[in-house]
Amino acid sequence: MQAGKGNLQLGPESKVVLTFRDYAKAGDEFALTFDGPGKRIDGFKVRSHLDEAEDAIGLTLSFSKLHDGTNYLSESLLDAPAKQVQIKTTNFAHQKSGL
């Protein structure tokens, strides 16, 4: 298996995006977004397909932070339009315990 192609981009608002394309299959994309100043993961995105290229599938994860800077998964989206499947979860009202 050949390694995929990657690149690094500086996005808006000091975001850093690390992207790998054609990693396992032609047309695949894997991207990590970092908040540079906050030194935390801001997002995660995977795009690929099942058996055929028309069977696209995607996973998007979004992260947020609490007032003290703790990072957490705030939203996830699994999307498979050809299969008419979309699953979205939202996490909210997180509080850091006093433990």
14 and 36 Cβ atoms separated by less than 8 Å: yes
**What type of residue is 21?**
R
pLDDT confidence of 4, banded at 50, 70, 90?
Answer: very low
Chain segment 20-79, per-residue pLDDT in tens: 888 788 888 999 998 877 788 999 999 999 888 889 999 999 999 888 888 899 999 999
Structure confidence at residue 63 (pLDDT): 93
Question: Can you tell me which residue has the tokens 């699994």?
Answer: 78
pLDDT attached to residue 9: 58
- Phi–psi pair at 82, nearest 5 degrees: -65, -30
pTM equals 0.78
